[in-house]
């Protein structure tokens, strides 16, 4: 009965193009309308969206949330470090590729790649950052243990065991389904602790005399997104990879970086957010679970400094996260939640994907229906997919099964 009442209380009023949502769980809020230009005019066509509204929203996210980042450098270059054509018992070719961020050989990230040996031509790939090092993704001895970063500026790094993160990366399942997998250790791009931006990629791009990013310049999430784009430059020259079929995927904080990478870099053909929560798929204005002030307090280096102006002032944010998802249109996007992951606000993740739908509809595509899918009932009929599964904050085999089904729809027509 209580749930019914709560549901009945969740009313959606569409007034002058803005959705005002009220419910028992969250305070009332009004979402900024993706289809209203800053001068108040309404967007009516997909070309108006692409030419006018999309750049407005993108710029606002850059200035207020993630910060501006450089484009991958023209001096970027690559080298194949290792190649094993008989990986996974002969099912795959495994490569490790150094992606140098600039002309220098000093700063690079290592892309670990698995390509199915049974293939006709280039293959679509799933690509995502990992938490603990490439050797933690795969149990194979041949994978190098890269420079694992410490968890803070004072701790000594501890090296996770080989395969420690392998439950999150079902490499064989992907290979059997005809997909390649590419992954990079987040710490290769920017270590995940606050060191005043002295390490990682930021200093490589400072202007003369600059010591840290400006208030509207990139934090760590944007740096990770930058790394994802750099890897994309490599995929474009690898003859085994179909660079037009790269699904970028990320869990949690890396899901935030993934959505942002998908928004700024339209070369990513599909974007998948797994439990990305605050600063990812979840609507900030709901203030449920992790809030803007909580995330800025605990991780002051993830977003740009300007984002801190919205601590406890979410309603003043010129954007909200449904617009981040809308920036991915018309490319397919998938948002997933876990029931016990209340910190990431599953309903807020769903609502944000749902409120991106009008932009997909401009392109004549289907977004999400209004009703939040029930547990373990994935919705993927349109270009926006969503599921919520039982269990904790994690990325599981069940999540991957849905992502493969969704990718099959678009990549294996
Ligand atoms: C939490 C953080 C979340 C999420 C998560 C993770 O501590 O509050 O925003 O990113 O970490 O990355 O696992």
Residue 278 beta carbon below 6 angstroms from any ligand 1 atom? yes
Residue 251 beta carbon below 6 angstroms from any ligand 1 atom? no
Residues of the chain with pLDDT under 50: 1-17, 23-24
DSSP string over 33-62: PTTB-TTSPBP-SHHHIIIIIHHHHHHHHI
Residue 192 beta carbon below 6 angstroms from any ligand 1 atom? no
Q: Which atom of ligand 1 is nearest to the CA of 393?
A: 13
Expressed in angstroms and rounded, the spacing between residue 253 Cα and the centre of ligand 1 is: 5
| pLDDT for residue 126 | 99
Q: Is 166 among the catalytic positions?
A: no
Helix (H, G, I), strand (E, B) or coil at 169: coil
Q: Which atom of ligand 1 is nearest to the CA of 298?
A: 8
In whole angstroms, give the CA distance from residue 285 to residue 237.
Answer: 41
Expressed in angstroms and rounded, the spacing between residue 282 Cα and the centre of ligand 1 is: 12
For ligand 1, atom 13: residue with the closest CA: 252
Packing angle, helices 54-61 and 253-264, rounded to 10: 140
In whole angstroms, give the CA distance from residue 272 to residue 180.
Answer: 16
For ligand 1, atom 10: residue with the closest CA: 253
What kind and span of H or E run contains 160? none
Quickly tell me which residue has 């729809």 as its tokens: 409
Q: Is 252 among the catalytic positions?
A: yes
- As assigned by CATH, the class of the 31-411 domain is alpha beta
Expressed in angstroms and rounded, the spacing between residue 409 Cα and the centre of ligand 1 is: 30
| pLDDT for residue 146 | 76
- Determine the distance from the C-alpha atom of residue 129 to the mean position of all C-alpha atoms in its chain, rounded to a whole number: 9
Question: Which residue out of 22, 73, 77, 393 is catalytically annotated?
Answer: 393
| Model confidence pLDDT, tens digit, residues 199-226 | 999 999 999 999 999 999 999 999 999 9
| pLDDT for residue 22 | 52
Choose which residue among 165, 276, 277 to substitute to test ligand 1 binding: the one with the highest number of ligand atoms within 8 A of its C-beta: 277
Residue 253 beta carbon below 6 angstroms from any ligand 1 atom? yes
Q: Which atom of ligand 1 is nearest to the CA of 131?
A: 12
Residue 286 beta carbon below 6 angstroms from any ligand 1 atom? no
Packing angle, helices 220-235 and 253-264, rounded to 10: 60
The token duo for 6 is 């709560």
The model's pTM: 0.94
CB 72 within 8 Å of CB 223: no
Alpha helices (runs of H) in 181-252, residue ranges in sequence order: 186-189, 220-235
In this structure, which long-range contacts are made by residues 406-410, counting pairs with CB atoms below 8 Å and at least 24 apart in sequence?
406/270, 406/272, 406/332, 406/334, 406/380, 407/124, 407/126, 407/179, 407/247, 407/270, 408/177, 409/332, 409/380, 410/269, 410/270, 410/332
Question: Which residue out of 229, 252, 276, 352 is catalytically annotated?
Answer: 252
User: What number of H helices and E strands is found in the chain?
Assistant: 13, 12
């Amino acid at each position: 009965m209580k749930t019914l009442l709560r549901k009945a209380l969740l009313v959606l009023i569409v007034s002058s193009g803005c959705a005002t949502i009220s419910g028992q769980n969250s305070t009332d809020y009004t979402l900024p309308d993706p289809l209203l230009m800053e001068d108040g005019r309404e967007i009516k066509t997909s070309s108006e969206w692409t030419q006018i509204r999309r750049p407005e929203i993108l710029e606002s996210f850059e200035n207020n949330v993630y910060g501006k980042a450089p484009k991958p450098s023209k001096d970027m270059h690559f080298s194949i470090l290792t190649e094993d054509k008989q990986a996974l018992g002969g099912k795959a070719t495994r490569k490790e590729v150094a992606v140098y961020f600039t002309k220098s050989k000093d700063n690079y990230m290592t892309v670990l790649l698995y390509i199915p040996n049974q293939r006709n031509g280039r293959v679509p790939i799933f690509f995502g950052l990992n938490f603990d090092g490439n050797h933690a993704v795969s149990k194979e001895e041949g994978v190098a243990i890269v420079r694992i970063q410490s968890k803070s500026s004072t701790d000594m790094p501890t090296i996770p065991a080989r395969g420690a993160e392998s439950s999150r990366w079902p490499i064989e399942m992907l290979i059997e389904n005809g997909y390649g997998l590419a992954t990079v250790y987040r710490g290769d791009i920017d270590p995940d602790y606050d060191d005043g931006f002295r390490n990682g990629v930021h200093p490589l791009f400072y202007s003369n005399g600059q010591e840290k990013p400006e208030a509207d310049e990139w934090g760590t999430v944007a740096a990770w997104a930058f790394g994802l784009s750099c890897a994309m430059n490599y995929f474009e020259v690898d003859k085994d990879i179909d660079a037009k079929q790269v699904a970028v995927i990320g869990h949690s904080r890396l899901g935030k970086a993934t959505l942002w990478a998908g928004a700024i870099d339209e070369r990513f053909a599909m974007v998948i957010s797994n439990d990305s929560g605050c600063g990812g798929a979840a609507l900030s204005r709901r203030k449920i679970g992790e809030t803007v002030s909580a995330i800025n307090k605990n991780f002051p280096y993830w977003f740009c400094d300007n984002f801190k102006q919205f601590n406890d002032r979410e309603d003043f944010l010129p954007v909200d996260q449904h617009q981040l998802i809308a920036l991915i249109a018309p490319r397919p996007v998938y948002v997933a939640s876990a029931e016990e992951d209340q910190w990431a606000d599953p309903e807020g993740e769903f609502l944000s994907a749902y409120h991106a739908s009008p932009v997909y509809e401009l392109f004549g595509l289907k977004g999400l229906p209004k009703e939040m899918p029930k547990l373990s009932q994935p919705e993927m009929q349109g270009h926006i997919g969503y599921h919520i599964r039982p269990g904790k904050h994690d990325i599981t085999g069940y999540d991957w099964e849905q992502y493969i089904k969704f990718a099959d729809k678009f990549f294996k027509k």
